Amino acid sequence: MAYRNPLNRALAILAGVLLLSSCAGRQSVLDPAGIDALSVYDLARVMFIGAIVLWLMVGALFIYATRIRPQEMPRRTAEMVIIGGGLVFPVLLLSGLLVYSLPMMGAQRVADDGMRVHVTAEQWWWRVEYELPGGERIVSANELRLPVGARTGLVLNAKKVIHSFWVPALGGKTDMIPGRETFMSLAPERPGVYRGQCAEFCGASHALMAFETVAMAPQDFAVWLAAEAGDAVPPATPQAIRGARVFAREGCGACHAIRGTAAIGQVGPDLTHIGTRASLAAGTLGTTPEDFARWLGHAEDIKPEVAMPTYDYLSPADLAALVTYLKGLT
């Protein structure tokens, strides 16, 4: 036997460990943190067990036909084996799995009294709008915040090309189609930060189109939402004031909005509270001053075909001032 060799045995164990390690990570479906993700996880387990049973049944029939009774069977016996093992058993098994999975679809319906969040997939970032009871919307970008213990409805749309919304720890995938609204809902059960990702190839920077989903205690979410609805904090230091002037001089407000200022652009992400977010460029970079400077000076190199222009011509002093201003938008 090959596995009697210690080296072969060690390699087999190592291969198994590597295979299992690929199931972990920030986008693993094996650590559900929401009701819908738990349903997907349970369904996957049942489907996996069902597949094993079906595989064992087919394998048993194969061994029976080739090893135990390799001789020709009577016609009636052969027909019974083929119909029973190859048709009746798989149909019953798959029908049972279908019946098991159907009730899970109802959980995706948005509760009538639940809060709604509108998420629009751009190229390659996420526009996020929280709909308040009065119809007003609070606009953010590249970050989704949800209250724990409540089901929040998501209204999904896309610009230009098809995308797919997916937060593995909280629920399944839903396509986002230009010109058409699709719906899903999420119900996180424990606080935490969960990575989301576009799961449909959408162009050159598809792999760099991620976002953070922050599940918060209801009282913390209410405090955050009230703060998010406010205007940006005005620049208070000479460095930040200079940065605001650079922002205005370079025409950044034509693409970006900062509430409480003259910047009302709708082409790019809303920057009103960008200083409170955990990432830049839809999960591509962190939010250190160095990350801000890299993005401003090398956007096209970092994210191919992005619409963001490159400001590599700014003087070091102007670039540092602009970074200070943006970091202070809380």
The pLDDT tens digits of the residues spanning 248-281 come to 999 999 999 999 999 999 999 999 999 999 999 9
Torsion over CA: 261, 310, 121, 195 (sign): negative
224 three-class SS? helix
Alpha carbons 241 and 208: distance in angstroms, whole number:
32
Tell me the per-residue pLDDT of 49-84, one tens digit each, with 9 for 90 and over: 888 988 888 888 788 778 877 777 788 877 887 787
Spatial contact of 263 and 277, defined as CB atoms under 8 Å apart: no
What pLDDT, on a 0 to 100 scale, did the predictor assign at position 98? 86
Locus of tokens 């208070």: 236
What pLDDT, on a 0 to 100 scale, did the predictor assign at position 299? 95
Q: Record the pTM.
A: 0.82
Q: Cα separations (Å) of 246 from 112, 256, 296?
A: 46, 14, 12
Cis peptide preceding 124, ω within 30 of 0: yes
CB half-sphere exposure, 57, CA atoms < 13 A: 18
Tell me the per-residue pLDDT of 192-222, one tens digit each, with 9 for 90 and over: 999 999 999 999 999 999 999 999 999 999 9
- The radius of gyration of the chain from alpha carbons, rounded to an integer in Å, stands at 27
Instruction: Give the largest Cα separation in the chain, rounded.
Output: 95
Closest to 142 (Cα-Cα) out of 299, 281, 292, 313? 281
Tell me the per-residue pLDDT of 74-110, one tens digit each, with 9 for 90 and over: 888 778 877 877 788 888 888 888 888 887 776 556 5
Alpha carbons 300 and 306: distance in angstroms, whole number:
6
